Structure formats: structure tokens, C-alpha cells
Amino acid sequence: MVRKAVIADAKVIHGLLNHYAGEGLMLSASLAEVYEYIRSFYVFEQDGAVVGTVRLQICWEDLAEIRSLAVAEEAGGRGVGRSLVLACLDEARELGLRQVFALTYKPDFFARLGFVEIDKSRLPQKIWRDCIKCAKFPECDETAVSIDIDGAVPDGDS
């Protein structure tokens, strides 16, 4: 079940994010940052335990980013990530946003949800806000993907 995160979820979210950050698959987040952004996080709860998380970050009047998508390894392949991304897209629609993007090492996952690859240069807000701080900048090895959320999201599985 997907739900908005609450304060009690912060330490689990922090653990999920930093597990993957330790593998070089995402940027690390301090516990203070998780608390600061808790209202923009969703979690996937299964049998009373949080097994996935994601955050929708507004970037501009018509643009948002899906960030911090992390699913516990034992919950992988069960649609947790898909459910979390779809919750972000629903919220983006409710907010009146037109485009949602992500930087990812798993572009095929996002492609199954209707995202298409784009050039990172189309995301100057992201580059100057976050990428400039990354140790991999300017040699980023993530793929930028984007979706126009005015359209329908396909029913593909993941």
C-alpha cells in the first residue's frame, strides 16, 4: 500500500536511501534532509513494514522530479517501484504539472511506465541545483527520462 510518509518513517527512509547511496546508485541523504523533505516522500508499506520510498520534488511551475526511488531488495520485482512512481504522477497531475523527469540507472523500468529518454541539457534547473554538487559532475552516467503527464500512463508491469 502506498501512502504519504510520516515522521515515524524517516529513519527507515534514510536507511533505504543510504543503502543504495553506499552502492553508488543514488546520492546520500542525511537524516536531517529526510526530515526536511518528509512531506514530499511516499512510502510503500507491506505487512506493517516500509519496503520502498520515493519523493516528488517540484522544480518549476510545470516541472517535477521523481527522486530517491528505493525499494528494499527483498521487495524487488513485486510492483513496489511502479506503485510509488504512479503515486508521484498522480500527485503531479493534481498539482497541475505538465512534465515529470528522473535521472536513473534503470531507464527500462521508467520506459515501461511511459517515460522517454531525453538529453540532460533540457533540465537546467536540475543541473544547477543538484548535479553541480555531485562527485560525478559533469561526467554523469545516469540516463534522463521524462514523461508528459497530460497523457495516460500505460498498464505495463514491473
Percent of the chain with pLDDT over 90: 66
Percent of the chain with pLDDT over 70: 84
As assigned by CATH, the class of the 2-148 domain is alpha beta
pTM for this prediction: 0.85
Locate the domains of the chain by residue range. Answer: 2-148
Are the C-beta atoms of residues 1 and 46 closer than 8 Å to each other? Answer: yes
- Kindly tell me the sign of the dihedral angle through the C-alpha atoms of 10, 86, 57, 111: positive
Q: Considering only 4-18, 75-89, 107-121, 124-138, which range has the smallest mean pLDDT?
A: 124-138
Q: Considering only 19-23, 84-88, 152-156, which range has the smallest mean pLDDT?
A: 152-156
Q: Does residue 152 sit in helix, strand or coil?
A: coil
Strand partners, 63: 60, 99
Give the pLDDT of residue 24.
82
Hey, what's the cell of 123?
A: 533540465
Give the pLDDT of residue 120.
77
Choose the most confident range, by mean pLDDT, from 113-117, 129-133, 139-143.
113-117
Q: Where are the beta strands (DSSP E) in 5-84?
A: 41-46, 49-60, 63-71
Q: Does residue 3 carry a pLDDT above 70?
A: yes
Give the pLDDT of residue 124.
59
- The per-residue pLDDT for range 96-125, each reduced to its tens digit, is 999 999 999 899 999 999 999 998 777 755
d(CA 22, CA 28): 8
d(CA 96, CA 63): 10
Q: Which amino acid makes up residue 83?
A: S
Q: Mean pLDDT, to the nearest integer, of 12-16?
A: 97
Q: How confident is the model at residue 138 (pLDDT cuts 50, 70, 90)?
A: low
